[in-house]
Structure 1
Amino acid sequence: MNNVLSIQSHVVFGHAGNSAAVFPMRRLGVNVWPLNTVQFSNHTQYGRWTGSAFDADELQNVIEGIGAIGVLARCNAVLSGYLGAPEQGRAVVEIVKMVKAVNPRALFFCDPVMGQTSGCTVAPGIEDFLVTTMPEIADALMPNHVELEKLVGRTIETVEEAVDACREVLGRGPRIVLVKHLLDRNSRADTFNMLAVSPTESWFAQRPLYPFARQPVGVGDLTSGVFVARTLLGDSLRDALEHTLAAVNAVVKATYEAGRYELEIVASQDEIAKPTDRFPAIRVTGTETTRRR
């Protein structure tokens, strides 16, 4: 069985960070070792919360403890998300080195949470650390649209421009860039776009964008978790993208239909494993696209 060390935030109430990613990965058949960067009462977009970030040294000490009992080599992937302080970012880099020292085939998936969303708060210095350091360390980067723009330092308005930006990021080290939410001026306003790019492939896919009065939080964390799991389970880039989009759509659709703010992850668990609705990816090659057959 695959094992993922998931280094993210934790909220006691609701779904964000590890609270959004761990259960879906386990439901898909991937074991997860959660390591929490913060413990908050709830996610920050409520406008008020309690809790605190964990000390960076404490994060490393926990992993050293796993190494001391001789099981760290069983870790197949590290997934990082929300960081409570820049020092935690440096701790993540050291943890990835520790894992790869005992399992060189382990992969590092980085979700570069930069706090650009209204109400999402990250500490000063984190954005700069993610932009300047993580592309050289990560095997896969999973930004949203604004985070991709920050990674390349320019505005992106089309799918083709996004592919170019992803290839630029790939040139710094990663094998995969997954754009979890891509804004495209040529797409309909009622669609939600995703893009997955490797050195040899680029796939674009869309699902419905549901008209929430207040968009739920944790969709990106859910997306990253499902994508990591499907990749470890052997999916191709295209298949991992399609399953991820379909599974996340099922959760978001159920949340919208239930009139909820927090994601209906547990209620949608069977759909996470075997989504009913599927959304075919389109292969993007330069300025031309070819629909999958």
Structure 2
Amino acid sequence: MNNVLSIQSHVVFGHAGNSAAVFPMRRLGVNVWPLNTVQFSNHTQYGRWTGSVFDADELQNVIDGIGAIGMLARCNAVLSGYLGSTEQGRAVVEIVRTVKSVNPRAIFFCDPVMGATGGCTVEPAIQDFLVTTMPEVADAMMPNHIELEKLSGRTIETVEDAVDACREVIGRGPRFILVKHLIDRNSRADTFNMLVVSATEAWFAQRPLYPFARQPVGVGDLTSAVFVARTLLGDSLRDALEHTLAAVNAVVKATYEAGRYELEIVASQDEIAHPTDRFPAIRVAGNDMARRGLGLGVDLGLDRAFD
């Protein structure tokens, strides 16, 4: 069985960070070792919360304890999410190096949380650390639209722009990038876009965008978790994208239909494992590839697609 060390925030009430990620990965058949960067009573979008940020030395201390019993070699992947300080970021880098020293095949998935995503405010110094350091360390990154713009230093308006931006970041180290939420000027306003890109392929897919009065928190954390699990279970990038989009859609749809603010993750657990709805991905190319004459434009009613 695959084992994932998940280094993220934790809320006691609700679903954000590890509270949104651990259960879905376990439901998909992946074992999870949760390591919390913060413990809050609830996510911060409620406007009030209690709790604290854990000291970076404590994160390393926990990993040293796992190493002391000889279990780190069983870690197949590290997933990092919300960081409460730059010191925590440096600790994550050291933890990844420690894991890879005993298991070189371990994969580091970095969710570069830079905004209020997940209900936690991120300081500018942490954002700078994620931009300047993590692409060289991560095997895979999972930004949203704004985070991809910061990572690449590009303005992104279309799917093709996003592919180019992903390839810019891939040139610094990651093998592939999942764009968890992509804003595309050519897409309909009632659609939610996702994209996954490697050096040789790119896949784009859409699901419905539900008109919440107040958008639920933790969708990005859930998205990253499902994608990590499906990748470890052997899915291709396309299959992992399609399963992730369908599973997250099921959770968000159930949350909207129930009139809830917190994600209906437990109630949707069977749909996370075996989604009913499917959203086929289409192959796309970036502007740079299109200018070189690679790909054939096909009108699929979404954006310019290249198949």
Asked if these proteins are the same fold (TM beyond 0.5), I'd say yes
The answer (yes or no) to whether the contact 1:9–1:18 under 8 Å persists in 2 is yes
User: What displacement does 1:115 show?
Assistant: 1.3
Report the Cα distance in structure 1 between the residues aligned to 2:243 and 2:38, rounded to whole angstroms. 29
| Post-superposition offset of 1:79 | 0.0
Q: Is the 8 A contact 1:116 1:146 kept in 2?
A: no
Aligned to 1:15: 15
The 8 Å contact of residues 230 and 240 in structure 2, kept in 1 or not, is answered as yes
Deviation at 1:285, TM superposition (A): 2.3
Q: Deviations over 1:55-100 (max 9, x none)?
A: 0000001001000000100000000000111100000000000000
- What residue number does 1:211 align with? 211
Question: Are the aligned partners of 2:17 and 2:118 in contact in 1 as well (CA < 8 Å)?
Answer: no
Partner of 2:276: 276
Q: Is the 8 A contact 2:8 2:38 kept in 1?
A: yes
In structure 1, what is the equivalent of residue 110 of structure 2? 110
Does the 8 A contact of 2:78 with 2:107 survive in 1?
yes
The 5 A counterparts of 1:211-250 are 211-250=211-250
The answer to whether 1:95 aligns with 2:113 is no
2:264 paired residue number? 264
Distance change >3 Å, CA 168–CA 27, structure 1 → 2:
same
Q: Which whole-Å deviations, capped at 9, do the CAs of 1:260-289 have from their partners, x for residues lacking one?
A: 000000000000000000000010024455
Alignment of 1:155-234 (within 5 A): 155-234=155-234
| Residue 32 (str. 1) matches residue 32 (str. 2) | yes
- Per the TM alignment, residue 48 of structure 1 is displaced from its structure 2 partner at its CA by 1.0
Aligned Cα root-mean-square deviation (Å): 1.5
Distance 1:225 1:46 in 2: 23
Distance 2:63 2:147 in 1: 28
Aligned AA (1:222): L
In 2, Cα distance between the equivalents of 1:205 and 1:289? Answer: 16
Distance 2:248 2:101 in 1: 34
In structure 2, runs of 5+ residues without a counterpart are 291-295, 301-305
User: How far apart, CA to CA, are the structure 1 residues paired with 2:201 and 2:91?
Assistant: 32
Deviations 1:108-130 (A, max 9, x none): 00000001559641234100000
> What is the alpha-carbon distance in structure 1 between the residues aligned to residue 95 and residue 230 of structure 2?
23
* Percent identical residues: 88
State how 1:139-150 maps to structure 2 within 5 Å.
139-150=139-150
Look up the equivalent residue of 2:83 and give its one-letter code: L
Deviation at 1:173?
Answer: 0.2
SS of structure 1 residue aligned to 2:92: helix
The one-letter amino acid paired with 2:42 is: N
Rounded to whole Å, the distance in 1 between the matches of 2:70 and 2:279 is 42
TM-score, length-normalised on structure 1?
0.97
CA 1:32/1:289 → structure 2, altered by over 3 Å: closer, same or farther? farther
**In 1: Cα distance, 2:68 partner to 2:102 partner:** 12
Q: What CA distance in whole angstroms lies between the structure 2 residues aligned with 1:117 and 1:22? A: 17
Secondary structure, aligned partner of 2:284: strand
In structure 2, how many angstroms separate the alpha carbons of the residues matched to 1:51 and 1:289?
52
Contact residue 282 and residue 289 of structure 1 kept, 8 A: no
1:31 CA drift (Å): 0.1
Equivalent pair of 2:118/2:221 in contact (CA under 8 Å) = no
Normalising by structure 2, we get a TM-score of 0.93
- Could you tell me how far apart the structure 2 residues matched to 1:268 and 1:70 are? 36
Aligned length: 293
2:42 corresponding residue in structure 1: 42
